[in-house]
Amino acid sequence: MKKNIKPRLFAKQLLQEGILWQPDDAQTHYLLNVLRLRLEDEIKVFDGQSGEYIGQICDIGKKSCSIKILQKIREMSHCPDVWLLFAPVKKDKTDFIIAGATELGVAKILPVMTERTIAERVKKERFEAQVIEAAEQCRRLDIPQILEPQPIKKLLQSWPQERILYFMDETGNGGDIQTVFQKATSAGAAVLVGPEGGFSEAELQLLRSASFAKGVSMGKRILRAETAVLSALACWQAICGDWIEGERK
């Protein structure tokens, strides 16, 4: 391992300088057996609440280790307030969506069940482990929140009216993505992508009649659900989010 690139781990507890932190079993295995770190080696640790720290291995047991939290190196910051709503697809593609959305800086992930959603059982715990891993790698300081899957109708009924829901409409009836996003006025937003089979006619009608929803087109070519998710989020970050110079410290 290159010692100048410090591994970065998420701690499920509030950190502060001077305290000791015990990585969980998987993290300990990664540090000691995969990376083969030793006493006094340094890593980066973040807690999703207070920022990021340098930590140093100060004790190694048989199957455990302790990290001394030395110094805060980044103050807490949050990703822009955009949510992703997506219909779970096959397992490996859903994994790709979860990791990609985390890297693209979503604040919240809401799996939605639509008429044509064909998904293997959705496991929230699995998603949670994936967002943590992606957040560790991409250096974001907060962890996106994941909600339990909900039927689309129920979600629309209890939708916070002030948040615009941009639904990706492959029928060509939405506004073009650049124009729609440039007109965004609300602080928070959400992006909805349909399942592989597309939205049903009834779902499209429901979305089109909702005052808070706006249809968006991403051109003539039909994208796979996972491509659509990443494309929509990338456009949102470029036009309304934090893809501006100086944001990456």
By CB under 6 A, the count of residues binding ligand SAH is: 17
Compose the 168-187 pattern: x for residues touching ligand SAH by CB under 6 A, - for all others.
Answer: xxx-----------------
Distance, CA of 57 to CA of 220 (rounded, Å): 54
The answer to whether the beta carbons of residues 117 and 171 sit under 8 Å apart is no
Residues in Cβ contact with 1 at an 8 Å cutoff, skipping those fewer than 6 apart: 7, 35, 36, 37
Is 118 a binding residue for ligand SAH by CB under 6 A? The answer is no
Q: Indicate the residue among 95 and 142 with the shorter CB distance to ligand SAH.
A: 95
Distance, CA of 197 to CA of 22 (rounded, Å): 45
| Radius of gyration from C-alpha coordinates of the chain | 20
Is 136 a binding residue for ligand SAH by CB under 6 A? The answer is no
Task: Name the minimum Å distance from CB 200 to ligand SAH.
Answer: 10
Q: Which amino acid appears at position 143 of this protein?
A: I
Q: What is the largest CA-CA distance in the chain?
A: 61
Interface residues for ligand SAH in 187-206 (CB under 6 A)? 193-194, 196-199
Task: Name the minimum Å distance from CB 165 to ligand SAH.
Answer: 12
Is 228 a binding residue for ligand SAH by CB under 6 A? The answer is yes
Residues that bind ligand SAH (CB under 6 A): 168-170, 193-194, 196-199, 217-219, 221-223, 225, 228
